Amino acid sequence: MRKIAIYGKGGIGKSTTVSNLSRALAAKGKTVMQIGCDPKADSTKNLVGGQPIPTILKTLKEKKKNVQLEDIIVEGDGGVLCLEAGGPTPGIGCAGRGIISAFETLETLHAYDTYQPDIVIYDVLGDVVCGGFAMPLRNGYSDEVYIVTSGEMMSMYAASNIAGAVRQFANRDYASLGGLILNAKNIENEEHLVHKLSQEIGTGVIQHIPRNPVVQKAEHQGKTVVEAYPEDEMTYVYMTLADKILKED
Ligand code: ADP
Ligand code: SF4
Ligand code: MG
């Protein structure tokens, strides 16, 4: 089982990229588990028809010790196993603590042994890389980290912070940095800026994902591009990303 964490600034396109990647990996015969680690809890929505799924935190609150795997895992398109950690009530509680509780619940319920995914992908908000949001990097939760960024200053700033957090744990044999994923916002000189950043943080750009309105067209149907437009050039891009990530193994 391979465990991959995908970080990036809010709104940069992590969930879009991750759900298309999961669906592409599923098309290649892999059993994929996608775990949303963002209080927005919409990581998996395009795999399940656009509807929110029950979050682990909310289900824990309602059912306490009676939570079962079936309550928090929804099988999405292509058989992708969809989970959302969820978040605290706004203004109260710690989102990072929520991620930790969600991970503890998955371990207690033997989620990984039961479903035996080939690949687990954590989709993690990377605006604040505090102890809680760094959890997927720690204690063996993930083997590799990829960072989604565009050429916008704020997303590159977040990417640089995330890379710093990965370095913090490098000596302890935790996750290593697999590379940047450029999700284009069509900023001037974008490729150059992101390549320069990748050199500064000692990694590479593993995939350039163009900006393309077909992403919204699929999203409006509650679908990934891979599901809705299998012949589209964007599906080819997500399939290529899946191939590259499989090769890293
Ligand atoms: P995040 O998970 O990082 O908060 P999302 O994946 O929810 O971001 O994406 C934010 C918005 O950007 C979505 O509405 C999505 O449709 C759009 N988007 C993401 N990637 C692309 C792309 N390559 N081309 C066009 N639109 C995109
Ligand atoms: Fe929790 Fe991190 Fe927010 Fe602090 S910054 S309250 S640790 S999520
Ligand atoms: Mg998201």
* Cβ(96) – ligand 2 distance below 6 Å: yes
Contacts of residue 56, defined as CB under 8 A and 6 or more positions apart, other chains included, come to 67, 72, 83, 84, 85, 86, 101, 102, 105, 106
User: How far, in Å, is the centroid of ligand 3 from the Cα of 45?
Assistant: 9
SS3 146: strand
SS3 235: helix
User: What DSSP string runs through 164-214?
Assistant: HHHHHHHTTT--EEEEEEEE----TTHHHHHHHHHHHTT--EEEEE---TH
The pLDDT value recorded for residue 93 is: 85
Tell me which residues have their CB within 5 A of the ion that is ligand 3: 14-15, 38
User: How far, in Å, is the centroid of ligand 1 from the Cα of 19?
Assistant: 11
Note if the pTM is more than 0.95: yes
Question: Which tokens sit at 14?
Answer: 């992590």
SS3 14: helix
The pLDDT value recorded for residue 168 is: 85
Mean pLDDT of each 10-residue bin along the chain, 249 residues long: 96 98 98 96 98 95 93 98 93 87 94 97 93 86 95 97 89 86 97 98 97 98 98 98 92
CB 83 within 8 A of CB 36: yes
The pLDDT value recorded for residue 20 is: 98
Q: Which domains does the chain have, with CATH numbers?
A: 2-248 (3.40.50.300)
* Cβ(170) – ligand 2 distance below 6 Å: no
